[in-house]
Amino acid sequence: MNKPLVVILMGSKADMEHCQKIAAACREYGLESVLRVGSAHKTPEHVLRLLREYEADARPKVYITVAGRSNALSGFVDAAVTAPVIACPPLAEAFGGADIFSSLRMPSGVAPGVVLEPANAALLAAKILGLVDETVRAAVARSQAQQRENILASDAA
């Protein structure tokens, strides 16, 4: 079987640090990831070309979209692909955090999941891809076991 892939698509290079955190967490589960830049608002044709490229790849995959402000990217990607899409918008203080609503409200037939923490977006991608890849599933199980051990060790102190 082909190794699973996580496609991390950011709306602009300003989101790179957030995306690098996702990619680092993906590596902890043995997941290959690729970082790409494309805006649903400014470069929709480019985004569609990228999606066609990755959809033609037979590997199991999950898309993680990262876009702040008006997050059209997550819904745009979800409507164009059959693989799962996870929106992981960077949180902003501007407008009292109201930007998040553009990730939560979607039209019918468009359903990206929303996870706010980069490490947790990678975890969800790993859990999804672990359904078809035993190595990834085992990495998730090891991570969960380690977290349980850490909590128990903290209580024993």
Distance of CA 48 to the CA centre of its chain: 18
The whole model's pTM is what?
0.95
Q: Exposed/middle/buried for 137, CB within 10 Å: 0-12, 13-18, 19+?
A: middle
Domains parsed from the chain with CATH numbers? 5-156 (3.40.50.1970)
Local confidence band at 18 (pLDDT 50, 70, 90 cut-offs): very high
Among 105, 36, 53, 110, which residue's Cα sits nearest to residue 78? 110
Q: pLDDT digits over 21-60, tens only?
A: 999 999 999 999 999 999 999 999 999 999 999 999 999 9
pLDDT value for 45 = 98
Give the tens place of pLDDT for each residue, 93-133: 777 778 888 889 899 999 999 999 999 999 999 999 999 99
At CA 81, angle to CA 130 and CA 109, rounded to 5?
105
